[in-house]
Amino acid sequence: MQNYATQIKAFIIENFLFNAEGSSLGDDESFLENGIIDSTGILEVVAWIEETFGIRVPDSDLLPENFDTVQRLTTYLQRNADKHGVPAG
Amino acid sequence: MLIQDFLLGSCRKNPDAEALVSGTFRATYADVTDAALSLAASLVAEGLQPGDRVAVLTDVPFDYIVSYFGTLLAGGVFVGLNTQTSSRTLKQLLSDCGASIVVTHRKFLKYFESMADGVPSLICVVIAGGGTVVGVSNRIFAGLIAKRNDNIALLPTREPANLAQIIYTSGTTGTPKGVMLSHTNLVVNTHSTLQYLGLTGSDRVMVVLPFFYSYGNSVLLTHIAVGGALIVNQSMMYPTVILDQMQTERVTGFSGVPSTFALLLKRTAIRDSPLPQLRYVTQAGGWMSPSLTRELIAALPEVAIHVMYGQTEAAPRLSSLDPADLQRKAGSIGKAIPGVTLKVLTPTGAAVKPGETGELAAKGENVMIGYWGQPQATAEVLRDGWLWTGDLVTADEEGYLYIAGRQSDMIKSGAHRIAPKEIEDVLLEHDAVFEVAVIGVDDEILGESLQACVVLKEAGSCQAEELLRHCQQILPHYKVPHSIMFFDELPKTESGKIRKTELMAGILSLQEDP
């Protein structure tokens, strides 16, 4: 779990905060509410997840409950790994 | 007639009708009107004089709408600000319009740090959700809308010709231009739009567009005018959420820009999601490709799809394509809407023949007063009684108009019009940058994405990430380039002007043949 969270945070900080405000990205901070990611940025996140973790994200999974914080995204990836037997991280 | 009469009229007719749905929050016309009247009385009590500017920076739909009508009822001029902002942009806009009062939300207070002494016109900041701004008097939004005020006669009176609203657009030079719209400008354009859309009080529109741009502003006014309901969720980050809400709220209308439809068509199950109540869709805010239009028609075969064209300077609507002509005149922006005259002209003002390209010029009571504090910029576009749109068009034999290009190099990315020069200037502030050109490259979702082409003073002295971080510190998020490419030199004309078309072609060939 921790490994997922670390990777996600590193990706968000590098690509959306340009390493400038990394320390302020909390695990429960909403990407949408805080304007961290927008409608095209979330597609970059999806593409990164599909490429990095080898899973396919169906459109129906693109929901705030799965994607809107580091914590939720971590849970989503873990759930996928459990379902498909992919090793964590 | 004044703009606020739309709200007051709909409230008188049906005060208990639903006006706004935002998440779990619901408000009736009486709720909105009561709050707007109370806010108006409070603003007057704070010292707001007729014609004073009230700037609003919030993404809370109820607060925005109440502030809009509250400002107008108080005799003020409403200035809705883009919530994707930066401290520098905010200070620039508040100073430019000479705002007396700002209405905002706690989450935007970070942009006000170190601002208090920078905007001398500010009387007070009205804050929702808590928090304070140092150096200026603070008021609590909830307190100002709760002071009940029924006596509209105590509020200042305004004339239809008076300035009602300033909407900021990106100027080609990178300096924002405040488009001044009178009550008449907005009232007549609202009436014209209602005519061709045929809206009624039974309509429920799904609003994903921000209200601070002229398209969203028009969606707001047209639906308030008929007493319809606004179902507001102003983000396309999770398009399936929007589609679900369209179903559960039984919406009858939907308005979007090309990127909105690209997201709905490519990232949701819209083709398999019955929307039996949906009867109309409007598309504006940039040219939509015929292939995307065809996909939309196939996904929503029973729905009237209105392709529209306009600009903020026209409050905003100028032309519309009848849904019946959508296939026959694919790619067209239609014909002038009621109350508007359109002509395709040469630079000297002569009419061009069908099939020839000229600049689109418009006339009508909807055409703006001018640009706030910029008489020269105003004179450049308001000439001989016409608004020169800067858009190059052709007309066919039947008078249907087709966009052929723009005279400026403005970039249309998502719902935003962006001046490359503003981003170029910010990049040039970085010590390592020698020269730069920002161009729009084709993007499946956004229409155009921002590509910065940079020449460094010393090759390898700076990474793209550092330049992006520099931009992010100064510019709103949507103006930060999507990518940065480094060049040894940029192609130029003999006079030293960067050849952006050549640059663009070079990048395209790189993308096709990496």
User: Tens of pLDDT along B387-429?
Assistant: 999 999 999 999 999 998 777 778 888 888 888 988 998 999 9
Q: What percent of chain B has pLDDT over 90?
A: 76
- pLDDT for res A3: 87
- Within 8 A of A38 by CB-CB distance, chain B residues are 235, 237, 477-478
A9 has a pLDDT exceeding 80: yes
- Within 8 A of B236 by CB-CB distance, chain A residues are 39
Q: Is residue A32 part of a domain?
A: yes
- CA angle, B216 as apex, B214 and B220 as ends, to 5°? 110
Distances (CA, A) of B398 to B290, B325, B328, B350, B485: 20, 12, 12, 19, 45
Number of domains in chain B: 1
Q: What is the mean pLDDT of residues B207-223?
A: 97
In degrees and rounded to multiples of 5, residue A32 shows phi and psi of: -75, -55
Q: Do B469 and A19 lie within an 8 Å CB cutoff?
A: yes
B6 has a pLDDT exceeding 70: yes
Q: Do B269 and A60 lie within an 8 Å CB cutoff?
A: yes
Bridge partners (DSSP) of residue B80 are B56
Q: What percent of chain B has pLDDT over 70?
A: 97
Looking at CA atoms only, how far is residue B238 from chain A in angstroms?
Answer: 6
- Within 8 A of B267 by CB-CB distance, chain A residues are 43, 59, 62
Q: What is the mean pLDDT of residues B465-490?
A: 91
Q: Closest to A40 (Cβ–Cβ): which among B107, B240, B445?
A: B445
Condensed to tens digits (0 to 9), the pLDDT of residues B343-359 reads 999 988 999 999 999 99
B82 has a pLDDT exceeding 90: yes
- pLDDT for res B10: 98
Domain interval for residue A55: 2-16+26-84
B480 has a pLDDT exceeding 80: yes
- pLDDT for res B415: 80
Q: Do A39 and B469 lie within an 8 Å CB cutoff?
A: no
- pLDDT for res A87: 53
- Within 8 A of B237 by CB-CB distance, chain A residues are 31-32, 37-39, 41-42
- Within 8 A of B464 by CB-CB distance, chain A residues are none
Q: Is residue A71 part of a domain?
A: yes
Q: What is the mean pLDDT of residues B71-89?
A: 95
User: In the structure, what pLDDT confidence band is assigned to residue B150 with cuts at 50, 70 and 90?
Assistant: low
Q: Do A34 and B263 lie within an 8 Å CB cutoff?
A: no
Question: Do residues B305 and B283 touch, judged by C-beta distance below 8 A?
Answer: yes
Say which range, B132-136, B162-166, B179-183, B278-282, has the weakest mean pLDDT.
Answer: B132-136
- pLDDT for res B442: 86
Question: Do residues B362 and B387 touch, judged by C-beta distance below 8 A?
Answer: yes
Q: Is residue A89 part of a domain?
A: no
Q: Is residue B379 part of a domain?
A: no
Cis-peptide into B476, omega within 30 deg: no
Place of tokens 């990127």: B259
Q: Which residues of B touch A (CB under 8 A)?
A: 83-84, 107, 235-241, 259, 263, 267-269, 414, 443, 445-446, 449, 465, 468-469, 472-473, 477-478
Q: Closest to B238 (Cβ–Cβ): which among A17, A40, A64?
A: A64
Q: Is residue B439 part of a domain?
A: yes
Q: Do A63 and B235 lie within an 8 Å CB cutoff?
A: no
B511 has a pLDDT exceeding 90: no
Q: Closest to A20 (Cβ–Cβ): which among B269, B469, B478?
A: B469
For residue B497, what is the domain's CATH number?
3.30.300.30
For residue A47, what is the domain's CATH number?
1.10.1200.10
Q: Is residue B457 part of a domain?
A: yes
Q: Do A59 and B240 lie within an 8 Å CB cutoff?
A: yes
Which comes out higher in pLDDT, residue B222 or A20? B222
Quote the CA–CA distance of A49 and A72 in Å, as a whole number: 13
Q: Do A59 and B267 lie within an 8 Å CB cutoff?
A: yes
- pLDDT for res B508: 73
Which comes out higher in pLDDT, residue A23 or A36? A36
Domain interval for residue B488: 411-512
- pLDDT for res A23: 52
Report the chain A residue with the minimal C-alpha distance to residue B236: A39
Q: Do A17 and B472 lie within an 8 Å CB cutoff?
A: yes
Looking at CA atoms only, how far is residue A62 from chain B in angstroms?
Answer: 6
- Within 8 A of A22 by CB-CB distance, chain B residues are none
- pLDDT for res B17: 98
User: In the structure, what pLDDT confidence band is assigned to residue B45 with cuts at 50, 70 and 90?
Assistant: very high
Sign of the C-alpha dihedral, residues B208, A70, B481, B94? positive
Quote the CA–CA distance of B3 and B10 in Å, as a whole number: 12
Place of tokens 């590509």: B451
User: In the structure, what pLDDT confidence band is assigned to residue B499 with cuts at 50, 70 and 90?
Assistant: confident
A89 has a pLDDT exceeding 70: no
Q: What is the mean pLDDT of residues B447-463?
A: 92
Number of domains in chain A: 1
A19 has a pLDDT exceeding 70: no
